[in-house]
Amino acid sequence: MSVPRVFIVLLTYNSKREAQCCLRSLQRLAYPNYRIIVVDNGSSDGTEAMLRNEFASLVTIQTGENLGYTGGNNRGINYALSQNADYVLVLNPDTVLVNPHFIDEMVAHMETHPEVGIAGPRVFGPETGSVQNTVLFTPGLWRNIVHWVRYRINPHFAHLSGDRIMDAEVLNGVCILIRASCLRQIGLFDPNIFMYIEDVDMDHRAHRHGWRVRYLPVDSVVHQRRSGDCHSTSLVNFLLKRNTVYYLHKAGRSLEAWSYAVISLAMIAIHILWPFRRSGVVPELCFLGRLWAAYRQIFKGIPYGQSFGPPYA
């Protein structure tokens, strides 16, 4: 029997050291039929030169600009599909292989379970022995409120990445294996999202088309994730809020999208106007204005790429 073709898509953006460590570790993979595609989003830290010097045999795609997680990965996925891939493994560059056989184990499961369109393995955190929770919930206004309360009662209530196979609403995109036929049916990552919540959107589309999204307790990689910049006026915070509203509206949950938008804007406004504030007001006012403009575009139905442009801070 022929071994399914797996294409590994690794997206880099000013992550030279992390990508180098990841690619070196992937040389230990035991799977007999894979190819690695490195997509560079216009890095300025010498990533491209490193790839040419040390990994010249790999397929490298240079986008020439930062297309975000969605746009960059889509370039690699499109290439994989054009080369008749059976599966595409989307992998973060800040990961290091710990189980050379994890692709073999995941492909074996998906070959015997044709209803599974997207699968995610067990991913370890940078702390020794820790497991990153990659089984997530679909975001929503009321669910976010309930989970906020539950989390303060039991911080571990939603940690679902355990020792048993389970179907998931959403899988974190740090390491996911996607069936090519699933991608051809549901489409790639939504480029309007840029990054954050893109996994929610893709998994939602997979569910709508009857595919299962499944967590597999297969050891895979260590995710050397860095602390995100999540302060009140950060790009991360902006994208999480904007893309949550975009996803809810796109999924037909318009009332919830409107409610989430209004409440998030109100909370920022209250924070700005809180008595005795002495600093940080101007950046927060700018953040509030940018978020309001983004929400308006969502509800008017104007794609970001048409007039809003890349969501740089």
pLDDT single digits (tens) 87-109 = 999 999 999 999 999 999 999 99
Q: Are residues 25 and 142 in the same domain?
A: yes
Mean of the pLDDT values across residues 144-173?
79
Question: How many domains in the chain?
Answer: 2
pLDDT confidence bin for 274, thresholds 50/70/90: confident
d(CA 50, CA 48): 5
Could you give the C-alpha distances from 25 to 34, 61, 81, 96, in angstroms and in order?
14, 20, 25, 6
Residues of the domain holding 183 = 6-223
**DSSP character at residue 90:** E
Mean of the pLDDT values across residues 117-133?
92
Residue 303 in this model has a pLDDT that exceeds 60: no
Q: Are residues 109 and 140 in the same domain?
A: yes
Does 208 fall in a domain? Answer: yes
Boundary-marking domain end, from 223, 252, 271: 223
pLDDT at 282: 74
Number of residues that this document lists for the chain? 313
Q: Are residues 65 and 203 in the same domain?
A: yes
Q: Are residues 211 and 250 in the same domain?
A: no
Tokens standing for 160? 């679902």
Q: Are residues 213 and 253 in the same domain?
A: no
Q: Are residues 181 and 272 in the same domain?
A: no
Boundary-marking domain end, from 201, 223, 245: 223
Check which CATH number belongs to the domain holding 129 and give it: 3.90.550.10
Q: Are residues 256 and 142 in the same domain?
A: no
68-77, 125-134, 275-284: which has the minimum mean pLDDT?
275-284
Does 175 fall in a domain? Answer: yes
Does 290 fall in a domain? Answer: yes
d(CA 19, CA 17): 6
d(CA 34, CA 39): 16
Residue 55 in this model has a pLDDT that exceeds 90: yes
Mean of the pLDDT values across residues 166-187?
97
pLDDT confidence bin for 227, thresholds 50/70/90: low
Does 230 fall in a domain? Answer: no
Does 152 fall in a domain? Answer: yes
pLDDT at 308: 47
Residue 306 in this model has a pLDDT that exceeds 50: no
Task: Give Cβ neighbours of residue 278 (< 8 Å, ≥ 6 apart).
Answer: none
Q: Are residues 59 and 125 in the same domain?
A: yes
The pTM (predicted TM-score) of the whole model is: 0.90
pLDDT at 305: 46
Mean pLDDT of the chain: 89
Could you give the C-alpha distances from 80 to 5, 61, 73, 220, 268, in angstroms and in order?
10, 12, 11, 21, 43
pLDDT confidence bin for 307, thresholds 50/70/90: very low
Tokens standing for 259? 């409610």
Boundary-marking domain end, from 199, 223, 247: 223
What is the sign of the dihedral through the CA atoms of 188, 191, 194 and 196? Answer: negative
Q: Are residues 90 and 208 in the same domain?
A: yes
Which pLDDT tens digit goes with each residue over 137-155? 888 777 777 766 766 676 6
